[in-house]
Amino acid sequence: MAEFCKKCSTKLFGKDSEDFFALSTPTQTEQELYPLVLCEGCGAIQVNHLGECVSPDCKECKNDS
């Protein structure tokens, strides 16, 4: 099954599918500890606890979520 970061999901489907939501905690996000995931739109990226792409080298999101 395809999974998407928050921005790609919203762009493609008009809403956040929350595929990567809560893979980490807000505390981990504050500490900049991000899980590595495979977004079908972006490729291999890191996401915060909200499922937002935080990879500075992401060509799709450009970290402007």
Return the structure tokens found at 15.
């809403």
Model confidence at 60, in pLDDT bands (50, 70, 90)?
A: confident
Question: Distance between terminal CA atoms of the chain?
Answer: 24
| Stated pTM of the model | 0.87
Chain segment 7-58, per-residue pLDDT in tens:
999 999 999 999 999 999 999 999 999 999 999 999 999 999 999 999 998 8
Count other C-beta atoms under 10 Å from residue 49's C-beta: 19
Domain boundaries, the chain: 1-65
Whose structure tokens read 């890191």? 46
Q: Where are the alpha helices (DSSP H) in the chain?
A: 6-13, 26-30
